[in-house]
Amino acid sequence: MDMSATVVIGTQWGDEGKGKIVDYLAERADVVVRYQGGNNAGHTVVVGDQEFKLHLLPSGILYNGKTCVIGNGVVVDPKVMLEEIKSMQAKGIDTSSLKLSNRAHLIMPYHRLLDEVEETSRGDFKIGTTKRGIGPCYMDKNARSGIRVCDLLEPEEFKEKLARNLEAKNHLLKAVYNTDGFDFAEVLKEYQEYAEQLRPYVADTSAILHESIKAGQKVLFEGAQATLLDLDHGTFPYVTSSHPIAGGACIGAGVGPSKISKVVGVVKAYTTRVGEGPFPTELHDATGDLIREEGHEYGTTTGRPRRCGWLDACIIRYAGYVSGIDYMAITRLDILDKLPMVKVCVAYKYNGKIINEFPASLNVLSRVEPVYEELPGWQQPTSHIRSYEDLPLNARRYVERLSEVSGIAIGLVSVGPGREQTMILA
């Protein structure tokens, strides 16, 4: 796999296992970059018998000596970032190669509170935010009132921007949500302390990446969330506030599209969705329950059961062209080991006709009828298998059929959380 500048993205609604794939590819990279989202992402990486939960730091942090970049497109909660650095250091991880973009926007205490009160006020129309202030922080960035990391390092600039923002937010909180706001001196003191702790990490990360690519280093861009959660291309409004598709890497890291050499799309061998919104291949039966139990498909923070369904090749095809995916990394194939048969949705029917595009309208998406192909299951364990040829024939047929229908090559197949449970095909 040519790795000179590779973007890894999720193709479905998230929780595909990007953490494991990024970790696997990070081993061969020199630089690992986060380019969007914030601490609403949650990768789980298993190294030997240790489990690491990463929210903000790039997965490359788990390998010593890799430059790890938090790009300008990420929104950064300094408190969370510093806590994560400390927790990694406590586990013996070296964080000295971490770089934080001076152009990244800061999550402030009022962003977290606004996230909560706004979501509560939506009543039955909740978006399903993680209430960590991500959405309100991106709103301020777009409104051009946000505060950036470079401002934090300039005391007078920060004071002035904090005063202006706090006045507006405290007014909004009181007038609209009848909620008390924040004390200027307290927030200032808290963030002044963060400034000194973060200072050693702050850099012009776009310039660093430019030099790395020029020097022939291998750069890995690590997407968080997934295609159907993209602000423009996802199932709006049940989306995130940033751009998890591959193009987001260019904006969120400050790298030109001509420098991206490969795009890898992570595909879970079935589909899950958290929260509300249409889900054409959703299963409301014993098979759905079996997938949920075998795959422990419960929210990591909320413990809420995830909605489970058959693999939907219409989604993968769509993800394929909005991100220009070169290879699929298929994860969690082992979760389907016990099923006597498996289904792939190969097309949607709407009003009796096959439709080729993934619908923009959620009304249409909620009414499409999946056209399934049924394939025989393999009904034998796969987690111990280390080479693609050794996979049961029916398991290979399943992933190869997905590749045919979606028009995307298979690059990697994963049959367990461990680094060694990964087979490379391309």
C-alpha closest to that of 391 among 419, 354, 425, 359: 425
Residue closer to ligand GTP by CB (options 149, 224) is: 224
CA 294/CA 225 separation, integer angstroms: 22
**Least distance between ligand GTP and beta carbon 65 (Å):** 23
**CB-CB contact of 410 with 400 (8 Å):** yes
**Least distance between ligand GTP and beta carbon 330 (Å):** 8
> Which contiguous run of DSSP H or E holds residue 342?
strand 341-350
**Least distance between ligand GTP and beta carbon 414 (Å):** 3
Catalytic residue among 23, 43, 151, 334: 43
User: Beta partners for 327?
Assistant: 264, 409
**Least distance between ligand GTP and beta carbon 226 (Å):** 6
String of DSSP letters for 24-66: HHHTT-SEEEE-SB-TT--EEEEETTEEEEESSS-GGGGSTT-
**Least distance between ligand GTP and beta carbon 379 (Å):** 17
Packing angle, helices 109-121 and 155-177, rounded to 10: 20
64 Cβ contact partners less than 8 Å away, ≥ 6 residues apart: 93, 94
185 Cβ contact partners less than 8 Å away, ≥ 6 residues apart: none
Catalytic residue among 15, 23, 77, 151: 15
User: At residue 50, what are phi and psi to the nearest 5 degrees?
Assistant: -105, 135
Strands 31-34 and 219-222, sheet pairing: parallel
**Least distance between ligand GTP and beta carbon 102 (Å):** 25
Residue closer to ligand GTP by CB (options 46, 251) is: 46
Q: Which residue pairs, CB below 8 angstroms and at least 24 apart, start in 211-215? A: 212/30, 212/31, 212/67, 213/4, 213/5, 213/255, 213/259
Residue closer to ligand GTP by CB (options 20, 169) is: 20
Binding residues for ligand GTP, rule: CB under 6 A, are 10, 14-20, 41-44, 46, 224-226, 331-332, 334-335, 414-417
Residue closer to ligand GTP by CB (options 76, 113) is: 76
Residue closer to ligand GTP by CB (options 148, 268) is: 268
284 catalytically annotated: no
55 catalytically annotated: no
Residue closer to ligand GTP by CB (options 99, 306) is: 306
User: At residue 18, what are phi and psi to the nearest 5 degrees?
Assistant: -60, -35
Annotated catalytic sites, by residue? 15, 43
